[in-house]
Every structure is written in C-alpha cells, then in structure tokens.
Amino acid sequence: MKTKPLVGNQSGLALVLTLLIISFLVAATIQLMVTINRQVSFSATQREQVRLDAMILAGVHLARAALLADQQENDFDSLLDNWAAFDQEMLADLTGDIELEITVTDLSGRLQVNALVPQDSPGPSAADQGGRQAGQQYREIWKRFLTSGRFAIDNEDQAEALLDALMDWIDQDDDERPQGAEEGYYRAQTPPYGSRNAPVLFLQELLLVKGMTPKILYGDDEHEGIAEYITVAGDDGRINLNTAPLPVILAVFPDVSVEMAQELMQFREDPRHRELLGTMDWYRQIDGFAGTGPDDLLWTVTGQYFGITVQARLDQYRRTGKGVLLRAENREQTMLHWQVH
C-alpha cells in the first residue's frame, strides 16, 4: 500500500515558516531603526551639549572681561557697572540661535558667614582689632537679619541658638557656647560626623550645623531662604552698601524703615549719583540716614568676590554653570570653584 505525499501540509508549513521569517525580519528592521534613531538622537544631544558648553565658557570669559574692564575704569563697584547688567540684545547678536544669560553678583553685598568668627591674627594690630569689632557687630546684624520675619525663624531664642551653633562650627576650639554645639554633639548624630572648626566652604555645608534646616536655608512656600543673602566668600565682615539687597540693608540699619531702605536703593541706582557711590558715607546724604549705621569698619565700596551664573539654552537643551570668582587688587582673577550642570 502506497502513502500519498502530504503536499498540502508541506505547503502550509512552508507558508508558516515564511511568515515567521518575514515577522523576524520586520522586527529586526524595526529594532535596527529604533537603535539608529536613538544613536542619531544621542549624537544630536551630544552635539548640542558641546555647543552649549562652549557657550557657557564664552559667557564666563565675558563676565571676567566685564569685571576687569570695570576695575580698570574705577576703584568701586555698584549696580550701575556694566558687569551688573549684560545687554541681552548684544548677547543675542553674539550667540546666534543659542540664548545666553549671564548674571554677576557682588558677594560683598551679602552677609559673610565666616565673619561671625574673625580669624585670629598675630599681635594687637589695627586689622585684628577691627576684625574682632566687626565680629561683635556682625552677630547683632545677623540676629536682626534672622528675626526679620522673612525666614523660618520663630523667635529671637531660635536665632541666638542658631548663631551659637554657627560660631561653634566655625571657631577652632571645642568650647560650646550656651546654645551651641561642638564635636560631642555631632559625633552623637546618626550617622556621626565631626564639627568643621574652620571657615565654611560651601553654603550646603550649613545644613550640617545644629538648628539649620532646608526651610531656613532655602525657604519654603511661606518663607524666603537666607541663602540668597549670605555668602561663605570672605571673612573681613565688610559690606558693600552699593550692592546690598534689601534684607541686608534693614539688618545693618536697625532704625530704618522699609520705605527708607527702598529710597536708599533708588538713590544708588540713579546714574546721576554714580560717582558718589565711590565714597564710604554716601548714604548719609539720604534723609533719615545721617546719624545711623554701624561703625565704618563694616563698609567697603569695592567687590572682591563675585558669584557668576551662566545659562545657555537651545530648544529643549539647557546647561548652567555657577561659580565664585576672586578678583584681587592687582587685577588677577581666580575662579575658586565652578560647576556645570
């Protein structure tokens, strides 16, 4: 007995195999296309990131050039200087399709964290005595600043405790102030860590200090953060009234109203008063300021440390660089730290 070939079954199997092969090839093709698209997209992203990084570097050079030109032009700094407000139309002409924003901030207008504890210098020099006096006045200024109602500080006792802890964190001894904290307190935390007992290097470090919280440092929906008005750059305690923000002005002048402080800010932003801003006591020309203010040891009209922020944008891509620049009297410039993200 002869068996007939299963021609129909073989044809069906061949069709199934053909369909499977075609399906595999289609899937492989689609996967290849996805991979290629990803690589193209990644390459485009990399290309734009390189362009933005180059523009960030160009922005830094523009900021440094503006600070150098201003230093060559005069020996004081104010918000009327070119570095304080870059011409956006000029930048647009230079950068083409990339949007570049440059912000330079005179950190001498902010309260210095490290000036709370003046660094000791050998001998009873005038500079040493001045530093100690500035430190005493600084604590009072800081207390008025912290208790202004702008920040998440509930009362004067909380401000005093925070200042004690800040000063203990900075000073070089292990003696606790009444409401402060030294090595023993921090070693008992989880996880344990040590007290710096040296000048603060970064603002974020303040979150390690007893009593400091993100709400106080950076603010929340109901409060401002103190980070906008303080700096870890410098320790001489000198404030540039030409660039100090409103909360700092109110802390420095305890008997001055908000309206008077705003009048002072309007005075220093008037181009007609530009040359007056080079004098240490220009503020006394404003009604209500004649007999006010701390000791002259706290004043300066020259910036030494400058915060630089450069942001470059192109479509959905964005890069931001931030750092602190030291500008010395001999016109040398040193970037103390710089970070791009």
Two structure tokens written together for 253: 């002048």
Residue 190 in tokens: 């989880």
Contact predicate 308/314, CB 8 Å: no
Residues 6+ apart with CB under 8 A from 81: 66, 70
How far apart CA 160 and CA 158 sit, in angstroms, is 5
- State the pLDDT at residue 37: 59
Handedness of CA 143, 146, 120, 181 (dihedral sign): positive
Count Cβ atoms below 10 Å from residue 56 Cβ, excluding itself: 20
Q: What is the DSSP string of 145-213?
A: HHTSSSSS--SHHHHHHHHHHHHHHHSSS-PPPTT---HHHHHTSSS------S----GGGGGGSTT--
- DSSP structural state of residue 338: E
| pLDDT at res. 127 | 44
Q: Are 289 and 122 in contact (CB under 8 A)?
A: no
Span(s) in the chain for CATH 1.10.40.60: 111-266+281-295
* Beta bridge partners of residue 317, listed in sequence order: 314
Question: Quick one: CA torsion of 198, 202, 207, 212, rounded to 10 degrees?
Answer: 70
CATH 3.30.1300.30 range(s) for the chain read: 13-107+306-340
**What's the topology of domain 13-107+306-340?**
Pantoate--beta-alanine Ligase; Chain: A,domain 2 (3.30.1300)
Place of tokens 């032009």: 73
Nearest one of 123, 210, 202 to 166, comparing CA atoms = 210
pLDDT at res. 125: 40
Q: What CA–CA distance (Å, rounded) separates 270 from 260?
A: 16
How do the pLDDT tens digits run along the chain, 341 residues long?
Answer: 555 554 556 666 666 667 777 766 666 666 666 665 565 554 556 777 888 888 899 999 999 999 999 999 999 999 999 999 888 788 887 777 889 999 999 999 999 999 999 765 433 344 445 555 556 778 999 999 999 999 999 999 999 999 999 999 999 999 999 999 999 999 999 999 999 999 999 999 999 999 999 999 999 999 999 999 999 999 988 999 999 999 999 999 888 899 999 999 999 999 999 999 999 889 988 887 766 665 666 889 999 999 999 999 988 889 999 999 999 999 999 999 999 98
Side-chain-side CA neighbours of 229 within 13 Å: the count stands at: 22
Q: Which residue has the tokens 């004649």?
A: 290
Indicate the DSSP class of residue 295. Answer: -
Residue 29 has what pLDDT?
66
Q: What is the pLDDT of residue 133?
A: 56
Residue pair 258/134 in contact by the 8 Å Cβ criterion: no
- Go through 218-247 and write b for each residue having 16 or more CB atoms within 10 A of its CB, e for each that does not: bbeeeebbbbebbbbbbbbbbbbbbbbeeb
Residues 185/128, Cβ–Cβ less than 8 Å: no
How is residue 162 written in tokens? 């925070």
How many Cα neighbours within 13 Å face the side chain of 286? 21
Residue 279 · residue 74 · CB < 8 Å:
no
How far apart CA 84 and CA 102 sit, in angstroms, is: 9
> Does 1.10.40.60 match the CATH number of domain 111-266+281-295?
yes
Q: CB-based contacts of 246: which residues, under 8 Å, 6+ apart? A: 258, 261, 262, 265
Helix/strand/coil for 334? strand
Other Cβ atoms less than 10 A from the Cβ of 329: the count is 9
The crossing angle, in degrees rounded to 10, of helices 156-170 and 126-146 is 140
